[in-house]
Amino acid sequence: MKASELSGVKEIARRANVSIATVDRVLHNRTGVAQKTKEKILSIIEEMDYKPNILAKRLASKRVFKFGVLIPMVNPDIEYWNAPISGIQEALSEYGDFGVDPRYYFFDSQDRQSFIRQSEEMLISGIDGAIVSPIFIDETIDFTVKCEKRKVQFVLIEYEIPMVSPLSFIGQDFFQSGKVVGHLCQYLIKGNDNILVLNINKEKDTSDQMDKKIKGFEHYFENCDFNGQIDNVSIEVPGFEEFVFFMDDYLRNNNPKLIYVINSRAYYVAKYLKLRDVKDIKLVGTCCYKNNIEFLKEGWIDFLICLKPLEQGYKAFLTLYEFFIAKRKVSKKQYLPIDIVTKENYLYYEN
């Protein structure tokens, strides 16, 4: 036992007026301690928030828990996933001594087969718990069914899937996020202006979460003095060139004064507005991706709604730690703050 751990046990023994051996018996749930004395010791442990108590149990059992992380790989355009990984690493540096073996499985966010391969490899490794980014809904559902059969606990980050029952979901309340955007957008437009709510995909997925944002956005305008129209459009385009064709055609027939991009590709619209020198359309986006931030700085994007992905990763790891090692109950839903980022404050926003 380390010196710091021993000093903690000594302090408990001193407060309870018992021997170190008696405290050790309680820590390891051994017999030979009177119930009244045991209750007194446990009360002191709780009062001290004695975390080495957990380490003592881990050392006694000598079991190492395998935590798998199934998350998109980082690419030059989307560095977002560096942040939750950093959060996991930060939590690991604090709690890694408690018998944890982390294993990372990176998949291509544009390739369903990559997700399937990595998820199967992770299950074969014999993990106890998993942190999963459910980019692909159907494939994630299949994966979670296999987890349940193997009694593997999993935490979902970023997107919530109604059809599955994770140990916990960690992300934004998308309905409330949509309402926040609606509240802010009312200051950017007039009461009879038209709005385009745009979902730009390379292929359709995670639609339920996008629908929640739209419903929250519409709910806000239903309850205020707004006489314009809200047009909801979901498009699938393989690249920017195809998006230009879509926007040219859309603006020939429609006159939106604000565009709200509900996923991470607001930079597509910003790039288009800059290309066509369109300055009378306000633009609101989601996620502090590098591409989005560049257009935010230039003023083509008015503001972004973001969350703290580093905190997301930290909480995801901590949830598995609490469940497996601390043996505590965890919250089924852990909502993160809904952050508003502008060109005036982006330098102070920490992912």
pLDDT of residue 348: 85
CA distance 305 to 264: 10
End-to-end CA distance of the chain: 37
Which of 17, 22, 20 lies closest to 9 in space, CA to CA? Answer: 20
Residue holding tokens 């942040």? Answer: 83
Q: Is the pLDDT of residue 2 over 70?
A: no
Q: What are phi and psi of 181, to 5 degrees?
A: -60, -45
Strands (E), the chain: 65-72, 100-107, 129-132, 153-157, 168-171, 194-201, 230-236, 256-261, 282-286, 303-306, 333-335, 339-341
Which of 100, 104, 109, 64 lies closest to 85 in space, CA to CA? Answer: 104
CA distance 332 to 287: 24
Q: Which domains can be identified in the chain, with CATH numbers?
A: 3-61 (1.10.260.40), 65-171+309-337 (3.40.50.2300), 174-306 (3.40.50.2300)
pLDDT over 70 percentage in the chain: 88
R_g over Cα of the chain: 25
pLDDT of residue 61: 55
pLDDT per position as a tens digit, 63-111 = 789 999 999 987 655 567 888 888 998 888 776 656 788 999 999 988 8
pLDDT of residue 150: 94
Strands (E), 18-160: 65-72, 100-107, 129-132, 153-157
Q: Is the pLDDT of residue 280 over 90?
A: yes
Read off the pTM.
0.77
Q: Is the pLDDT of residue 252 over 60?
A: yes
What's the mean pLDDT in 275-288?
95
